[in-house]
């Protein structure tokens, strides 16, 4: 791993316009995020609507991100699927783009047992030159990595961390006790990420950082500096926004927010996702106005 993966890492949306990827908006968004001081990016993650992107689009998005970032922060590429063979093939292909890490989600729909997950991630790690970050998001995959399975996988020298989107802070304590100290534990839950950092997490792969990147970074730094009020202050300031960003499945609301903020040219998503229902517009607008984002 050439760069340390920590802090606030934005899981970038993929802007679309008239059915095609809007690379101009993507560039503008990355520049705005760098201005916010974020510490890295994920391309082709769930927030980027990865199931609806083709290989050529993903390659171009990563190329654009590399050009804009120019080595300043780590770039992670999502390569996971519910097929081990397809994940291995995509991971090998993506390695040619020289990412700082690959993010590999728990196989969805198939619901593999824990020993199947060990086999899946071990095979992917063996095929990858880039280090592997596990991604546990049971709200989307149904199957969930158990702490004992993460501990087993953490012994693989090419599996260097976990994005944990469960929001289970007690589980984090179990995880920390069962993995090597250098294993990178990242939150994948915007609401609990500051408390996660206070308990020893190294950062967050976030959605809300599209809107409050600088503020999230400050809150995480305060938590890691043992400020006892960091989590409560973060919740007080941003709970309404965090609720609004998940009024409908991600990334529906954050794309609308970015459109209203003038960072992307359209709030368009790819089917089967659709733009934010009008009945939610005022709640999201009110949050953005209160935070002086629009």
Cα 18 to Cα 239: distance, rounded to the nearest angstrom = 33
Cα 215 to Cα 165: distance, rounded to the nearest angstrom = 20
* Residue 108 annotated in active site: no
Nearest-10 Cα torsion for 216, 144, 270, 48: 40
Catalytic residue among 135, 234, 255, 259: 135
| H or E element that contains 232 | helix 230-244
Cα 64 to Cα 14: distance, rounded to the nearest angstrom = 12
By the 10 Å C-beta count (0-12 exposed, 13-18 middle, 19+ buried), 161 is classed as buried
By the 10 Å C-beta count (0-12 exposed, 13-18 middle, 19+ buried), 178 is classed as middle
Catalytic residue among 3, 23, 86, 163: 163
* Residue 3 annotated in active site: no
Cα 53 to Cα 48: distance, rounded to the nearest angstrom = 9
SS3 202: coil
Cα 38 to Cα 141: distance, rounded to the nearest angstrom = 27
Cα 82 to Cα 109: distance, rounded to the nearest angstrom = 7
Cα 214 to Cα 219: distance, rounded to the nearest angstrom = 9
Tokens coding 174: 């179990």
Q: Could you list the active site residues? A: 135, 163
């Amino acid at each position: 791993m050439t760069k340390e993966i920590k802090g606030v890492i934005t899981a970038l949306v993929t802007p679309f316009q008239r059915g095609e990827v809007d690379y101009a908006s993507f560039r503008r968004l990355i520049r705005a995020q760098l201005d916010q001081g974020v510490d890295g990016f994920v391309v082709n993650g769930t927030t980027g609507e990865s199931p609806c992107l083709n290989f050529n689009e993903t390659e171009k998005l990563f190329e654009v991100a590399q050009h804009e970032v120019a080595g300043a922060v780590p770039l992670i590429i999502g390569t996971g699927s519910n097929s081990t063979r397809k994940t291995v093939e995509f991971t090998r292909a993506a390695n040619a783009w020289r990412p700082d890490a690959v993010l590999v989600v728990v196989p969805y729909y198939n619901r593999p047992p824990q020993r199947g997950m060990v086999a899946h991630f071990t095979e992917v790690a063996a095929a990858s030159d880039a280090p592997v970050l596990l991604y546990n998001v049971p709200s989307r995959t149904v199957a969930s990595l158990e702490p004992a399975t993460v501990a087993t996988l953490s012994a693989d020298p090419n599996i260097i961390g976990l994005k944990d989107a469960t929001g289970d802070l007690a589980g984090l304590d179990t995880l920390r006790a069962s993995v090597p100290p250098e294993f990178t534990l990242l939150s994948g839950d915007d609401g609990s990420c500051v408390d996660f950092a206070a308990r020893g997490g190294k950062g967050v792969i976030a959605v809300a950082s599209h809107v409050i990147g600088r503020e999230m970074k400050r809150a995480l730094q305060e938590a890691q500096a043992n400020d006892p009020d960091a989590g409560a202050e973060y919740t007080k300031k941003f709970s309404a926004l965090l609720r609004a960003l998940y009024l409908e499945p991600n990334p529906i609301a954050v794309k609308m927010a970015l459109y209203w903020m003038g960072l992307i040219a359209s709030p368009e998503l790819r089917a089967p996702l659709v733009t934010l229902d009008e009945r939610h517009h005022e709640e999201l607008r009110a949050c953005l106005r209160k935070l002086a984002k629009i």
